[in-house]
Amino acid sequence: MFGQTNFELILLMLVSLIALATDLARGRIYNWLTLPLMVLAFIWAYSNGGVSGLLSAFAGWSLAVAVLFPLFLIKWIGGGDVKLLMGYGALLGVRPFAELLLLTLLVASVFALLILITKGRLRSFLQELSWKAMALFILKDQKIDLTLTQQTRMPMALPIGIAVIWTVLSRPLLGGLGL
C-alpha cells in the first residue's frame, strides 16, 4: 500500500481477523468493531496529515459509500461489510482503498461463482439476473426490484480479509520489482 504506516497495516490485519471471526461464527460484522475503526481512522488521518489527511480519509470513506451503498440497498452486501470497508477507506485514503476494494470485489465474485456452481444455482442465477437487466436497461422499467430471489449467503469478511492480506503482503514484493 502506498505510504501506509505499520500502525495502519497492523490495524487492517487485526480488524480483518476479528471481522472474519465474527462473520464466520455469527454471520455478522458488529458495529462495536466498525464504528470505532471509522472514528480512529479519521483521528489518525488528521493527526498525521492535518486537514489534508482528513480530506484524504473522507475521500476514501466516500468512495466506499458511493460503490457499496447501492449494493447494500439491493441486498447484495450486508451493512456490516459496508461499514467495515468504509472504515478501511477512511484509514487508507482513495488510491490504496480503491485497489483493496477492487481486489475484494474480484475475490468475492470468484467465491460467489464457486458457491453458485457447487449449489447448482448458476443457471437460475444467470437467468434471473438477465431478466432483471433486460427489464431495467431495455424495457426501462425503473420499478424493477433488483433484489435476487435466490439469496446465497456468503461471509464477505472472507474475501475482504483475503484482499487485505494479499494487498499488505504483496506491496513490498511489487515495490521491490519497481511495479
Side chain identity, residue 154: M
145: three-class secondary structure by DSSP: coil
Per-residue model confidence (pLDDT) at position 154: 79
Q: Please give the average per-residue pLDDT across 97-107, as a whole number.
A: 93
Q: What is the mean pLDDT of the chain?
A: 85
In angstroms, the CA 8 to CA 44 distance is 9
Domain ranges of the chain: 6-176
Question: Tens digits of per-residue pLDDT, 4-32?
Answer: 678 888 899 999 999 999 999 999 999 99
In angstroms, the CA 8 to CA 13 distance is 9
pTM of the model: 0.83
> What DSSP line would sit under 87-133, residue for residue?
HHHHHH-HHHHHHHHHHHHHHHHHHHHHHHHHTT-HHHHHHHHHHHH
Question: Tens digits of per-residue pLDDT, 77-94?
Answer: 899 999 999 999 999 999
Q: Work out the pLDDT band at 179, boundaries 50, 70, 90.
A: very low
